Amino acid sequence: MATIFNRSRELWPMDRRTFVSGSLNMSRASCPLAPTPGICSLMEKESHFFIVCFCLFICFKTIATEAHAHGFTKLFVFGDSYVDTGNRNFSARSWNQPYGITLPGKPAGHYSNGRVFSDYIASWMGIRSPTPYRWRKMENTSLEYGMNFAFGGTGVFDTLVSAPNMTIQIDLFQRQLQKKLYTKVDLNSSIALVSLAGNDYTAYLARNGTTEGLSAFTKSMIKQLGLNLQRIHGLGVRKIAHIGQFSCLVSQPSIGENRGKAEQQSKESVFVILNMYKAFLSALKKQASQPGTLKFKDPLRPCCEAVSTGYKCGNTEHGKRMYVVCNNPNSTFFWDDVHPSQAGWRAVYLALKSSAYSLALM
């Protein structure tokens, strides 16, 4: 399956930000067909014209077919900052300089200098990155590619940020379905991308959670995650890709049971696990070992760093920047203290691409 739209279709919603995208360059069609000898020149010209038109048609048809060969045309996104493309309010640091410095050139609500993981999954599908829920009512907003319900900093349960947890995000999705915004046909050609990056643990520890209670907390979190995944499928979404540090935990009884129920009901495989931890390691090793590829010189050092303890990338004090930015964000794997750069996310996406392909084969 081709990924020819990797750069040309990773677009910001037009009503929010002026998007930057590459042009789709198609090489000249080559048709190894020659006119039959003995036919008059006029007929030869007509034959050539027909052949050229036919070949051009086939070329364009092939591009469109390859881009949507997997049959998925809509993406619904749930989770946190790994996949949030602008749902948090303007107080979030994703709306501060220098976020978005690479693409689109100014802050756009992405926790990166440019694209995040959900942008790359949309690109693989051959569609534009779905509009964030927050911007769904903006004039000229297109909702034909799905919708992004993810909010940076959130988790399965309530965390340290005032934003919808995963259950409420699914509630928001259900309301759109109740409004008939998407049909059963739409949902049957859709993928849900669910991210869980660890904010629940951060909140647990910040609220004086004990090591003794950590096991019980983890079990409750995994159980709720399993219920959330089953619920998304129950609303009609055909396939679900789950990413996060806890991808290996889907084998746990609480998630496995819900996964089994969903797949039994649909009589097909429903879930694909995108192991983010392994993808991070794989991306870093590959970048370090393959000749000719961009090297992450100091993989664990972020491009945007705070100047002192207590500050983060994007923080200011009395108008003064409390962070420094590297000269070339594309040379770093991490953008800030916890989020990959656009280059980092691309490397992760490439490491997970084979797993993404399995969605089309299930």
Query: What SS3 state is found at 32?
Result: coil
Q: How far, CA to CA in Å, does 340 sit from each of 79, 113, 125, 334, 337?
A: 16, 9, 22, 4, 9
H or E element in which residue 316 lies: strand 316-317
CA dist 46 and 39 (Å) reads 11
**Contact yes or no for 278/227 (Cβ under 8 A):** no
Closest CA to 221 of 159, 277, 276: 159
Q: What token pair was written down for 362?
A: 């299930």
Q: How far, CA to CA in Å, does 298 sit from each of 277, 333, 346?
A: 18, 8, 17
Q: Is 48 a catalytic residue?
A: no
CA dist 72 and 129 (Å) reads 13
Of the residues 70, 233, 242, 339, which is catalytic?
Answer: 339
Q: What token pair was written down for 315?
A: 């923080």
**Contact yes or no for 333/343 (Cβ under 8 A):** yes
Q: How far, CA to CA in Å, does 88 sit from each of 132, 153, 196, 296?
A: 9, 9, 17, 30
Of the residues 123, 195, 336, 341, which is catalytic?
Answer: 336
CA dist 358 and 269 (Å) reads 10
DSSP letter (8 states) at residue 94: G
Q: Is 339 a catalytic residue?
A: yes
Q: Is 81 a catalytic residue?
A: yes
Q: What token pair was written down for 292?
A: 């000719």
Residue 77 makes CB contacts below 8 A (sequence gap 6+) with 83, 85, 118, 130, 146, 147, 148, 149, 150, 192, 193, 194, 195
Of the residues 81, 129, 190, 254, which is catalytic?
Answer: 81
**Contact yes or no for 321/314 (Cβ under 8 A):** no
Looking at the annotation, which residues are catalytic? 81, 336, 339
